Amino acid sequence: MEHGDMRRHHLSLVLEALLADGASSRAALAQRVGLTKATMSTLVADLLGRGLVTEGSARRDGQVGRPGVIVEPRGTSLGALGLEIRVDEVAACLVDLTGEVRFSSRRRVDNERSRPTTVANRLVAVAEEVLGEAAGADVRCVGGAVAVPGLVDPDTRALVAAPNLSWPEVLLSRVDDRLGLSLAIENEANLAALAELRHGAGTDLRSFVSVTAGGGVGGGVVLERTLVRGHHGFAAEIGHLVVDPGGPACSCGASGCLEAVIGRDGDAPAEVVVDALASALRSIAHVFDPQAVVLGGTLAGLGDGDVADLEAVLVERTLGGRWHPTQVRRSPLGRDAALIGGATLTLDRLITDPTILPPLDSTKEPMS
């Protein structure tokens, strides 16, 4: 730790406060973040210099005293790219700092029977389409992430195990080069959880687990508002919790996994789905003790009655349920969840450390 870390952390707090609770004056910000007005002045000046915030008009609300100058996040002029490769489609979207999906594109293709380079070309194509629109609207893209259905080693950026999809690890660097961006790669369910955390059903939660069905049953675990990736990046594979040891065989080598029982798209009969989910959610509640479970993908289509049944199970058939019941929520994000999560991952890095954006050089050249 050094001095700069403190600065970075405070810049991050200020930016986050502005994005989360809206624009406000320096004085109000100082109070919200817990710093003095003097420090806040310098922090805001720094963010202004990096183009991350703008000064708006002075407050005009009839309050007594000198009106504060409103500091606004420049949320709409900075964004990140979310990309997605699935067995039957490629997609791209650009999300700005406010969390709004500004541009998006999705194409049905047959990636399963295509060569990896073809898949890469398709990905570049949708990405360039979205980036073009973004450039036209003066939105600067600071990076992006690719969502893939399978296990990912986040450090080497290798796709380790993906059913029906081959993606040699060198390809990503070539996509990077062609787009002129640095892309991360991450499991789609993990990214979906990140999207829930920032823009979906988890914005008010500190800890939750998301379960998504659609081309596989994936999970994402968020504890203390941080995504849990596991030691090798393989955590949160909720689809392989055992719900019926005598059930159908699963691709993972065992039998009776949640995914094998309810189908890769969660398209088994509703009764089967709810029963299997109930068992899996009980296990989740016992091992993670989250505030809520968020159902995404096709599972977001469950009816109120089914959700109530699941919540009842979590109250009656878990140890802690009677004292602190676990909520069951449905995702509002639809099928773009992973895509939004990919952009969110990148934007989060910017929010965590605003200094990765260099200060715009606003020094006027002195006349010699």
Partner DNA sequence: AGAGTTCGTATAGTCTCTGAACTTATGGTC
Partner DNA sequence: GACCATAAGTTCAGAGACTATACGAACTCT
- Does residue 362 belong to the site contacting DNA (CB under 7 A)? no
Count other C-beta atoms under 10 Å from residue 79's C-beta: 30
Residue from the set 43, 78, 284, 294 that interacts with DNA by CB under 7 A: 43
d(CA 81, CA 96) in angstroms, rounded, equals: 9
Residue 6 or 45: the one with the smaller Cβ distance to its own copies is 6
- The size of the interface with its own copies (CB under 8 A), counted in residues, is 54
Interface pattern 200-219 for its own copies (x via CB under 8 A): ------xx-----------x
Residue 253 binds which of its own copies, DNA, none (CB < 5-8 A, kind-dependent): its own copies
Residue 35 or 87: the one with the smaller Cβ distance to DNA is 35
- Does residue 357 belong to the site contacting its own copies (CB under 8 A)? no
- Continuous segment of H or E residues that includes residue 72: strand 69-73
Closest CA to 351 of 80, 37, 82: 80
Residue 28 or 90: the one with the smaller Cβ distance to DNA is 28
Interface pattern 55-94 for DNA (x via CB under 7 A): ---x---xxxxxxxx-------------------------
What's the min distance (Å) between Cβ of 25 and its own copies?
22
The two structure tokens encoding residue 223: 């504890």
- Does residue 317 belong to the site contacting its own copies (CB under 8 A)? yes
For the chain, count helices (H), then strands (E): 10, 15
The alpha carbon of residue 336 and the mean position of all alpha carbons in its chain are separated, in whole angstroms, by: 11
Residue 62 or 253: the one with the smaller Cβ distance to DNA is 62
The two structure tokens encoding residue 54: 């703008």
Residue 42 or 118: the one with the smaller Cβ distance to DNA is 42
- Does residue 241 belong to the site contacting its own copies (CB under 8 A)? yes
d(CA 276, CA 225) in angstroms, rounded, equals: 27
Q: Which residues of 316-350 are buried (b: 16+ CB within 10 A; e: fewer)?
A: eebeebeeebbbbbbbebebbbbbbbbbbbbbbbb
- Continuous segment of H or E residues that includes residue 53: strand 53-58
- Does residue 32 belong to the site contacting its own copies (CB under 8 A)? no
- Does residue 284 belong to the site contacting its own copies (CB under 8 A)? yes
d(CA 62, CA 5) in angstroms, rounded, equals: 39
Stretch of 24-32, 90-98, 291-299, 301-309 lying at the interface with DNA (CB under 7 A): 24-32
Closest CA to 225 of 201, 183, 191, 197: 197
- Does residue 36 belong to the site contacting DNA (CB under 7 A)? yes
Residue 287 binds which of DNA, its own copies, none (CB < 5-8 A, kind-dependent): its own copies
Alpha helices (H) in 107-217, listed in sequence order: 116-136, 170-179, 188-199
Distances 24 to 8, 11, 75, 368 between C-alpha atoms, Å: 20, 15, 14, 40
DSSP code, position 163: T
- Does residue 358 belong to the site contacting DNA (CB under 7 A)? no
- Does residue 42 belong to the site contacting DNA (CB under 7 A)? yes
What's the min distance (Å) between Cβ of 356 and DNA?
14
- Does residue 39 belong to the site contacting DNA (CB under 7 A)? yes
Residue 41 or 283: the one with the smaller Cβ distance to DNA is 41
Backbone phi, psi, residue 68, to 5°: -80, 150
Q: Which residues contribute to the site for its own copies (CB under 8 A)?
A: 1, 3, 5-6, 9-10, 151, 153, 160-161, 206-207, 219, 221, 223, 228-238, 240-245, 252-254, 279, 282-284, 286-291, 316-324
Q: Which residues contribute to the site for DNA (CB under 7 A)?
A: 2-4, 6-7, 10, 25-28, 34-45, 58, 62-69
